[in-house]
C-alpha cells in the first residue's frame, strides 16, 4: 500500500471516530453513531484494498463488512 493510501485510510478512520462522537453527543443516539462509525470503517477497509490487494486486506475488509451487517441486523431486531 502506498503512503497516500495508508494516510487516506487512517484519515477516514479518524474522521469516522470524530463523526460518530459528534453524532453521539449532538443527537444522543448510540445506534446512529454506531452506524456512522461502521460506514467510515467500511470505507477505510475498502481504501486499503485499492493499494496492493492481499488476502490479508481482503480478509480485513470482509470482516469489517460482516461485522457491520451483523450489528445492523442486531440493531434492527432489538427495536
DSSP secondary structure string for all residues of 15-70: HHHHHHHHHHHHH--HHHHHHHHHHHHHHHHHHHHTSS--HHHHHHHHHHHHHHHH
Specify the pTM. 0.79
Q: What's the pLDDT score for residue 79?
A: 64
CB contact set of 6 (below 8 Å; sequence gap of 6+): 48, 51
Calculate Rg over the CA atoms of the chain.
14
Residues of the chain with pLDDT under 70: 1, 79
Give the CA distances from residue 67 to residues 1, 47, 52, in Å, rounded to whole numbers and listed in that order.
24, 17, 23
Amino acid at each position: 500500500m502506498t503512503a497516500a493510501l495508508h494516510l487516506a485510510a487512517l484519515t477516514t478512520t479518524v474522521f469516522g471516530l470524530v463523526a460518530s462522537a459528534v453524532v453521539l453527543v449532538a443527537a444522543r443516539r448510540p445506534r446512529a453513531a454506531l452506524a456512522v462509525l461502521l460506514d467510515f470503517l467500511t470505507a477505510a477497509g475498502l481504501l486499503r484494498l485499492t493499494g496492493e490487494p492481499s488476502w490479508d486486506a481482503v480478509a480485513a475488509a470482509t470482516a469489517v463488512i460482516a461485522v457491520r451487517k451483523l450489528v445492523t441486523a442486531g440493531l434492527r431486531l432489538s427495536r
